Structure formats: structure tokens, C-alpha cells
Structure 1
Amino acid sequence: MEIQHKESATELLESMNKVEYFKKLKLANTTDNSFSVTLKVSCYNELNLMVSDLLKASIILLNEDARNLSSLTTVTDINVMTLLEIALQLLPEEEMELLDDLHKIHLKTDAE
């Protein structure tokens, strides 16, 4: 049983070395192990619109009274495409590939 675990660990390390995983989070501060995520924008105006849309959506979705008091009452005030683009940029694609590889190793270990 211990040999199988060692083989699985070796296979995992080999898999991780084949492809560079863990690209989404960048180490921001080594003292507290915090990370940063990069969002790609074409200009400051696009960044401003993204943040504005996130804030507007949050206000409207979290507080029904705010909908009645705010000028942000129509759906057209929130650019849903911007929110979806942010979500797409934040998805950790390479990390998900690693999870797939780990799952395959797990399934192979269970079958043995």
C-alpha cells in the first residue's frame, strides 16, 4: 500500500513538472503569504467601468431598498458583460487542469 502511495506521489510530481500550473495567483507578500490576481484591461476607463459595474451590481443585488432610492434601477445601468469578463479572467484554468490530473491519479489508485 505504501509503495502505491509513493508511486502516486511520484506521478503527481512528474505531472506537475510537465506543465507549469498555478499561474493565476502571484505571490504578493512573502511575509503573510498573500497573493494577487491580474486583470487585463485596455485602459483606465475600462478599469473604472469594471469597478463601477461591480459596485452597482452589488448595491442593487444586496439592498432592495437601494433599488428604489437609487438612479441604478434599470438593468441597463449594469454592464453584465463586464462582470462576466472579470469572472472569466479570474477562473484558474491551469489549476483546474492540475485538479483533473489529480483526479485521474486518485481514480487509478482506487482501482488498484
Structure 2
Amino acid sequence: MTENRIQLTHFLETAGKKHYFTKLEPDQAIDTSLTTRFKIDTYTELMLTITSLIRTSIAILRSEEYNSGNDAALLLEMAKNLLPDDEMELLDDLYSIL
């Protein structure tokens, strides 16, 4: 039990030093910069959104009557930018402890 607490303490300290959970930020006052934001409430909803963008891109690319790879590329770029990279690193750290 003591070893588990030491590992958990180490994990929490490491997680606190890194910038995890950066894709979903609290809703703050809008400033004058030009940004696009998606209102997403949970990481499950985020993953469903990414999956939907990828599936739509695949359907566009497979369509013989629709010849615009630009739309598919734009959707795939959006999906790539939404991927929670930092959170995946956190899950790897957690998995190594468990």
C-alpha cells in the first residue's frame, strides 16, 4: 500500500508540473483576438467529434461523385488539432503506474 501511495504522489506531482488538459479550457470572456472555439463539455464528446470528422472525411474521399479532397483535408486538419495530445501522455504515465 505504501508503494502505491508513493507512486500516486509521484504521479500527481508530475501531472501538476506538466500542462495536461489543455484542449478543453473553461469558458472565459471573449477578447479581441480572432480564434475559433468549439464548445465541448467532456472528453468523451471531444473524441466523438474527432471520430465524426474522420468518418466524414473518409466518406468524402471514397465518394466518386464528389471530387474535392480539400474538404476532407480541412476536416482532417480540424480533427488533428482537436486531438488531446497532452492527455494521452498523462494516460501513458497513469498506465505505467497501474
Give unpaired runs (5+ residues) of structure 2: 29-35, 39-52
Question: Match for 1:92 among 78, 84, 91?
Answer: 84
Give the count of matched residue pairs.
70
**1:5 is matched by which residue type in structure 2?**
N
Equivalent AA in structure 1 for residue 89 of structure 2 = E
Equivalences for residues 16-95 of structure 1 within 5 A: 16-28=15-27, 38=37, 57=56, 61=59, 73-76=65-68, 79-95=71-87
When you count strand as a share of all residues, which structure comes out higher? 1
- TM-score, normalised by the number of residues in structure 2: 0.57
| 2:90 aligned partner, one-letter code | L
Identity of aligned residues (%): 37
Tell me if the contact between 1:24 and 1:92 (Cα under 8 Å) persists in the aligned partners: yes
Residue ranges of structure 1 left out of the alignment (5+ in a row): 30-36, 40-53, 62-66, 68-72, 107-112
Cα distance, 1:78 vs. partner? 6.0
Structure 1 residues 77 and 19, CA, compared in 2 at 3 Å: closer, same or farther? closer
**Stretches of 4+ moved more than 6 A in 1?**
none
TM-score by length of structure 1 reads: 0.50
Based on CA coordinates, which of the two structures has the bigger radius of gyration? 1
Partner of residue 96, structure 2 = 104
Q: Distance in 2 between matches of 1:77 and 1:100?
A: 34
Alpha carbons 1:16, 1:98 under 8 Å: kept: yes
Superposition RMSD in Å: 2.9
Query: Distance in 2 between the 1:82 and 1:23 partners?
Result: 22
The corresponding residue for 1:110 is: none
Question: Against the structure 1 CA distance between its residues 38 and 100, is the aligned structure 2 distance closer, same or farther, given a 3 Å change threshold?
Answer: farther
